A and B are shown apart, each in its own frame.
Chain A
Amino acid sequence: MPVPFSQTKDHYDLIVIGSGLGGLTSANRLAYCGHKVLLLEHHHRLGGLATWFKRNGHIFDISLHGFPYGMVKTCKKYWNREIMGSIVQLKNIVFDNPQFTLKTTFDKNDFTNILNTTFKIPLQTVHDFFTTVAGMNFYDDQSMTTRELFEQFFPGRTDVHRLLMEPITYANGSTLDDPAITYGIVFSNFMNRGVFTFEGGTDKLIQMMSDELEKNGVTICTKSKVDRIVVEKGKVRGVEVNGKVITAKAVVSNSGITNTIHNLTDRNCFSDEFLSRADAIRVNNSSCQVYMGIRDGERIADVGDLLFTSTAPEFDSAELLDIHTRSKTFSVYYPKTRPGHDRYTIVASMNGRYDDWTRLTDEEYQHEKEEMTARAIADLERYIPGVREKIDWLEAATPRTFNRYTLHTHGTSFGTKFEGLDISRTIFKEVPGLFHVGSVGIIMSGWLGAINYGVIVANDVDGYIRSI
């Protein structure tokens, strides 16, 4: 249970700013290593983007659309067996667009089969492609783009490019122009065994994580926004919240890397060379979502768990970002999502640009939101005829919503482009005791990426604290 901020002590071994999956995991690992940890979260609940909200008896999940099988091992090692035990597969992944319509388990075997029989790609080519992406490491050469990778193996096959790229664009905001390694690493993670989810929903996961943190002795305060990271004599001294300074040997910021450098820390603490690289960091796109709740007692047919739909003729990264995009995913949550809670909900997700939504007047903003909601229902009608009449709750989120809840620069959903990783990894060399954890570099985002990165950073922090 979070404690009121007024009950915090004046000193901890370390302070974690933000309770996204990266921050939660770093806090948990460091407490497990024996350090006294204070976790401060600005929102009233833990989880960051791994969150949910309740309306009219419905529970809507924001970022529980699917993650790779690697979560099983990661949750077992860095959280606990109960959390691991709730991870289940989503077996029905649907693609529907003008180029093809198909259903898949989204794993290497099924994709090999589909690429070979439906798309008529020679088995050897499919095999070589899988071997190439599986062998990619984040420290490899990053000059090749994903577009070049696809052209090398499947020249001119825009249908194949779409099959391979569309889900990953939704999963981490990457485009055909990002380094091929960022594609290869994330795609291979999914292809390992398919797409998985957390049975019981995000609320259950975060409750279980919160219990584990408590067991390991982490002090948690929600509704506590850190205003400033205090640096003295070039070293981290603590944080300031509501005028109160709490000191610590190290601070781990799970606030965005751009926020951490530009808004939380005095710029004079960094070298010019570091700042020029930090200023050049590009953040990833934000998101839009439409939440649809099915009236209690109504049922809908099983049309698949995750539907990648589009009426755009070909895959185009820019089209997916357009405020009027014709591409969206539907996550359909059947009663199996939360056993015992007999409800159906559907979340339509789109990528979105912050600027497109902030430049609107309030009136235009409301209008665009309504239009987006109407398009989502019309599109969903193609898969679930008559669904319109069964919906009793409708709500939409835009990049402005994501920015408000997470404070992330431009409401970024998936952290930064590749260059953010190096800045995040080296910030403690600029300001001893200051670490960053959270979505960066495309590969360290998503639930699995954020948790694993939490472990990597916890290792750096533990090493640092034990060396001073």
Chain B
Amino acid sequence: MTNDEIKDLILEIIEDIDDEADFDNLNPDEPLRDQLDLDSMDFLDIVMELRKRHQLQIPEEDYPQLATLNSCVNYLEPLLKNA
């Protein structure tokens, strides 16, 4: 997957979680949590969805790497290289 595809994937998953999420003013370097009103349960949903769609196992200690859109991309890029 390219970086843009990974970005789209994350946004698509977030949209499934919260169909009212507004991505227009999203700053990719600011925590998603603060901008989109996501809580820790929502992050768990993202982890579960990534496992379901791409068989990715993300250990709990790596959850902080999913904080911003750009950190998601950096973290997932090597894992989704061949996806």
Q: Which residues of A contact B (CB under 8 A)?
A: 29, 33-34, 74, 77, 452, 455-456, 458-459, 462-463, 466-467
Contact A33 B48 (CB under 8 A): yes
| Partner of A459 from B17, B44, B55 at Cβ < 8 Å | B44
Task: Give the CA-CA distance A455 to B48 in the complex, in Å.
Answer: 10
Contacts of B51 in A (CB 8 A): 462-463, 466
Contact B41 A74 (CB under 8 A): yes
Contact A459 B48 (CB under 8 A): yes
Instruction: Encode B21-57 as 1/0 by CB contact (under 8 A) with A.
Output: 0000000000000000000010011011001100101
Taking chain A's interface residues, is the majority helix, strand, or loop, or is none over half, making it mixed? helix
Contact B52 A455 (CB under 8 A): no
Task: Give the CA-CA distance A452 to B51 in the complex, in Å.
Answer: 19
| Partner of A33 from B17, B44, B52 at Cβ < 8 Å | B52
Chain B CB within 10 A, most for which of A33, A452, A458, A459 = A459
Residue ID in chain B nearest A32 by CB atoms: B52
Q: Name 23 A/B residue pairs within 8 A (Cβ), A-sorted.
A: A29-B48, A33-B48, A74-B41, A77-B17, A77-B41, A77-B45, A452-B41, A455-B41, A455-B44, A456-B41, A456-B44, A458-B48, A459-B44, A459-B47, A459-B48, A462-B48, A462-B51, A462-B52, A463-B57, A466-B51, A466-B55, A466-B57, A467-B57
Additional 19 contacts, C-beta under 8 A, given A463-B57, A467-B57 = A33-B48, A33-B52, A74-B41, A77-B17, A77-B41, A77-B45, A452-B41, A455-B44, A455-B45, A456-B41, A458-B48, A459-B47, A459-B48, A462-B48, A462-B51, A462-B52, A463-B51, A466-B51, A466-B55
Interface range for B = 10 to 19
Contacts of A455 in B (CB 8 A): 41, 44-45
Taking chain B's interface residues, is the majority helix, strand, or loop, or is none over half, making it mixed? helix
Task: Give the CA-CA distance A452 to B39 in the complex, in Å.
Answer: 12
Tell me the minimal C-beta distance from B54 to chain A in angstroms. Answer: 11
Contacts of B45 in A (CB 8 A): 77, 455
Task: Give the CA-CA distance A467 to B52 in the complex, in Å.
Answer: 12
Contacts of B57 in A (CB 8 A): 463, 466-467
Task: Give the CA-CA distance A77 to B40 in the complex, in Å.
Answer: 13
Task: Give the CA-CA distance A112 to B48 in the complex, in Å.
Answer: 38
Contacts of B17 in A (CB 8 A): 77
Contacts of B47 in A (CB 8 A): 459
Residue ID in chain B nearest A456 by CB atoms: B44
Task: Give the CA-CA distance A463 to B48 in the complex, in Å.
Answer: 8
Tell me the minimal C-beta distance from B37 to chain A in angstroms. Answer: 10
Contact A34 B52 (CB under 8 A): yes
Contacts of A463 in B (CB 8 A): 51, 57
Residue ID in chain B nearest A460 by CB atoms: B60
Contacts of B41 in A (CB 8 A): 74, 77, 452, 455-456
